[in-house]
Structure 1
């Protein structure tokens, strides 16, 4: 019989959800980098448009530069909720011996020192129990993501880039 402490299983599942959200955020940052060149200048598209400048002739054209980032919708995702279900049998109860009488232990993580309540006991789960019975013992995970509004930083960057777009040169026939 292979058993796992219930606390460890819950911590592992919560850790997996946090790691999944971290990977989503990293992918979004990497996608944002696609809109900038190797010198961190915004990539842009140059469009030739009929000139709207005062005194422009019929065939005059303006070169209009538009950064790409404000031209496309920025999609941000986050994990909305997670539902995990599985079949298991309760195993043995183990008493912990790593805490003082009150179950309080000091944990030092550099400047993030804090007191943590340490479990006094642990319940083991046999997650293979259903495999020995007629059930298959599958874990069922339902993960829902949702689109969220761009962060304030992305919105400000997009707005600033949108303000930098515009005509930068006018061509006249024969130039």
Structure 2
């Protein structure tokens, strides 16, 4: 398991822009939170997420280079290698630099898009138990449907980085 070095995350809330619904819950970003095993950082992140109840449909890849969101499930992105510039919140959102050891936790509906990345950019994504992930593009029709599904997405029982007593649980349950 990685050493969790920083359990105080930054939070950001994005407004609904008419196409990307975003969420009233904050995007949560842990910067330089994980001390990763240089030999197998992807596996290290997968084990951490799984141990903290975010083991559904774990994947390894990058982040899509087009704007999208997930209206049926929350998502966690752990940066295993490299560096990427990612915009969260839709076209009117905010750009973030993400590096190995960073973790972003996106509430359902949060727009995201990789704007550029290093060749070695490697991301581990996962979801808490519940509905299956669906990639949704920002269109008027999808926005209308998402406004119905996002409010009923179940809140996770744990923080994918810090477990049941982690900051995410308190932040999202208020």
TM superposition score normalised by structure 1: 0.22
Q: Which has the higher strand share?
A: 1
Q: Which has the higher helix share?
A: 1
Larger Rg: 1
